[in-house]
Structure 1
Amino acid sequence: MTSTAGVTDSAGGAPPAVAEEPAPGGPGETRRGLPRPHLAAYLVPAVVVCAALGVYPIVQMVRMSVSDVGPATLIADWEFLGAENYREVLDSDTFWPAVRATLVFTGVLLVVDLVIGYVAAAVLARPSRLTSAVLSLMVFVWALPPLVSGSVWKFLLAGDGLVNSTLELVGLPAVDWLSDPDLALWSVSLVAAWASLPFAILIIRGGMLAIPTEVLEAASLDGAGPVRQAVSVVIPLLRPTLAVLTILVVLYAFRSFDFVYVMTSGGPGTVTTTLPFLAYQEAFRTYSFGIGAAIASVLMVVIALLAVPYAWGVRKEESA
């Protein structure tokens, strides 16, 4: 007699029980069953590329900064000099004026990006068709290569450029924006700030949109006006965002080279010579590769010191 236990008859009934497949996984496997060491292997190409394009040039730059490297020895053995290049840089007549120019450049960018950026972000926080159009235009400005926007502004600020022509139309004298030693650095700094302002506005606006509307409504019910809300509610809540943005702006300023190169080439004289441009001059105009590498190494240390709080701030934001 054949057993029919567990077989469904044609009239219907419960289907036979199917053994459930065991979930993949021991502790060393992912949900898809691929061992974790195998996943880590996919990172190897990226690590190799980053090391080849990032770590190796930095190591070579540091080696060059402590060596005697010139046109005749560039592809030969480098004589080790220790800290001699750094002493020469610190004692030179061009280094400290370049530090001052870099600090002025950085200060202008910070004021424009944080102050004007905050005001513009507050205005653009309300969605509308005009807001969308302005944001699209800002993204276009921000995406322009610095060489392009710097060249455009160089023509606009020239002696017979559009800015001076407009001033003469309203009865004002023309201004030597890029050849006057008292104005050249400010002009280049403002152009660089104009190029970086859209990024600052987008960052601050994103932080504002993340603030719960209930908080602002509660402050309004308590009688706080727009200024009081900004000082007591919005800015404190935006403090982590503003801190990260400040570090990014400083990093951008300390590595800015394009606008100085295109608009003034460090002139008139050395008024607009910032540290990145000074490193370029020493390395590729006077062919003092060791001195240029020493200046670049100093910049790298400053950028590295700023990158630590930036990474810490980003990690804090992600864990909040």
Structure 2
Amino acid sequence: MSSSLSLTDAGRPTGRSAFARALSRTPIWFLVPAIGLLGGFAVYPLIVLVRMALSDVGPSNIVGEWPFTGLENFAAVLGDDEIWLALLRTIGVAAVLLVSNFVLGFVGASILSVGGRVTETVLAVMVFVWALPPIVSGSAFSFLLDDRGPINDALGALGIPPVSWLSSPDLALWSVTGIIAWAALPFSVLVIRGALLAVPVDLVEAAALDGAGYWRTQARIVLPQVRPTLGILAILTVLYAFKSFDFFYVTTQGGPGTTTNTLPVLAYNTAFSGFEMSTGATIALVSMLAVAIFAVPYIRAVRREEHA
């Protein structure tokens, strides 16, 4: 006898039937608070951002009617060389973060995968560093890297001329990128460490018995096991790079000149310093589209790994 309900040996429903019954027993109003928060803090601001990008909005009509302009703002933004330079700077920041998070993160996670009091202390310090608000750590580094700051004082004591870390057009972008990499490294170490601890010990021991060295074991055994985690970490790293506004605002505010204008900094300066709200909103949307372009291939790769 055929039946639309799939049963186990104990007579309990399985699969979609079990999910449907569980859902039917759950009052839908339990989801209302989450839906309200998501709509209020994510969906509604995004709708307003899209409206602003498709309208002519300035200080004179920010409160009032917004004349619809269609895609004129997008044409103007994409025709400006500054946004492409900002995109290249943002991609450069993302590339540095990917290298530091993967290389230094993997090395640090491998070292800290062994338990002990020293490991626990180091992990506690790393969590503290990661949890610091960007405005706090950015302000601290802004003081340290100032032309007359402690780092240049130490260099001067060694007979080395002072370095314009944050005021040189050639160094400012990479100095701030180093600060961002320092702030993001603890998270990558913790994520990779968790993935390494989940690797079956018997696989590593079997590789050692077969005569595989440390690096060959890491490349042939460990890396394939942690690849899905690394894919997710890559997505988060790119997202982190594209939204790293706080560090740039605290340290350089996009200067000197426009040499540290990444996409979020350019969007902010355009909207709130140049009072071109529509253009700033358009740049923000372009930044979101760039993140989606980078994220989709990684998401597909991770899904393939999960279903393999």
Find the counterpart in structure 2 of residue 20 from structure 1.
none
Find the counterpart in structure 2 of residue 253 from structure 1.
241
Find the counterpart in structure 2 of residue 110 from structure 1.
98
What is the identity, as a one-letter code, of the residue corresponding to 2:58?
G
Q: Which deviates more, 69-78 or 187-196?
A: 69-78
Instruction: Assess if the C-alpha contact under 8 Å between 2:101 and 2:189 holds in 1.
Output: yes
| Greater radius of gyration (CA) | 1
Superimposed CA distance per residue, residues 29-58 of structure 1 (whole angstroms, 9 cap, x where no aligned partner): 55xxxx726422210221122112111111
Q: Does 1:75 align with 2:75?
A: no
Instruction: Assess if the C-alpha contact under 8 Å between 2:266 and 2:280 holds in 1.
Output: yes
Q: Which deviates more, 242-251 or 158-167?
A: 158-167
Q: Which deviates more, 40-49 or 275-284?
A: 40-49
Q: Distance in 1 between matches of 2:59 and 2:247?
A: 28
Q: Distance in 1 between matches of 2:62 and 2:25?
A: 42
Find the counterpart in structure 1 of residue 194 from structure 2.
206
CA apart distance, 1:317: 7.5
Superimposed CA distance per residue, residues 209-246 of structure 1 (whole angstroms, 9 cap, x where no aligned partner): 00011111111111111111111111121111111101
- Percent identity, aligned pairs only, is 50
Q: Does 1:161 align with 2:161?
A: no
Aligned length: 292
TM-score of the pair, normalised by structure 2: 0.89
Q: How do residues 1-320 of structure 1 correspond to structure 2 at under 5 angstroms? A: 30=22, 36=24, 38-306=26-294, 308=296
Structure 2 unaligned regions, length at least 5 = 1-11
Find the counterpart in structure 2 of residue 15 from structure 1.
none
Distance 1:242 1:168, change over 3 A: same
Q: Distance in 2 between matches of 1:248 and 1:317?
A: 17
Secondary structure of the corresponding residue to residue 169 of structure 2: coil
Superimposed CA distance per residue, residues 234-293 of structure 1 (whole angstroms, 9 cap, x where no aligned partner): 112111111110110001101110000000010111111100010001111111111001
Q: Distance in 1 between matches of 2:296 and 2:87?
A: 22
What is the identity, as a one-letter code, of the residue corresponding to 1:65?
A
TM-score of the pair, normalised by structure 1: 0.86
Runs (4+) of structure 1 moved beyond 4 Å? 26-30, 305-320
Q: Distance in 2 between matches of 1:271 and 1:307?
A: 26
Secondary structure of the corresponding residue to residue 235 of structure 2: helix
Q: Which deviates more, 273-282 or 42-51?
A: 42-51
Secondary structure of the corresponding residue to residue 266 of structure 1: coil
What is the identity, as a one-letter code, of the residue corresponding to 1:245?
L
Q: Distance in 2 between matches of 1:50 and 1:309?
A: 26
Instruction: Assess if the C-alpha contact under 8 Å between 2:228 and 2:306 holds in 1.
Output: no
Superimposed CA distance per residue, residues 70-107 of structure 1 (whole angstroms, 9 cap, x where no aligned partner): 11111121111111101111122321111111111111
Q: Distance in 1 between matches of 2:92 and 2:288?
A: 19
Superimposed CA distance per residue, residues 165-203 of structure 1 (whole angstroms, 9 cap, x where no aligned partner): 221222222111011111111100010000000000000
Instruction: Assess if the C-alpha contact under 8 Å between 1:251 and 1:306 holds in 2.
Output: no
Q: Distance in 1 between matches of 2:54 and 2:124?
A: 47
Distance 1:50 1:316, change over 3 A: farther
Secondary structure of the corresponding residue to residue 49 of structure 2: helix
Superimposed CA distance per residue, residues 143-178 of structure 1 (whole angstroms, 9 cap, x where no aligned partner): 000000000000011112121122122222211101
Q: Distance in 2 between matches of 1:178 and 1:307?
A: 31
Q: Distance in 2 between matches of 1:169 and 1:260?
A: 29
What is the identity, as a one-letter code, of the residue corresponding to 2:241?
A
Find the counterpart in structure 2 of residue 6 from structure 1.
none
Q: Distance in 1 between matches of 2:106 and 2:130?
A: 17
Q: Distance in 1 between matches of 2:226 and 2:109?
A: 12
CA apart distance, 1:306: 4.7
Instruction: Assess if the C-alpha contact under 8 Å between 2:231 and 2:302 holds in 1.
Output: no
What is the identity, as a one-letter code, of the residue corresponding to 1:297?
L
Instruction: Assess if the C-alpha contact under 8 Å between 1:244 and 1:313 holds in 2.
Output: no
Q: Distance in 2 between matches of 1:153 and 1:239?
A: 33
Structure (1/2) with the larger helix percentage: 2
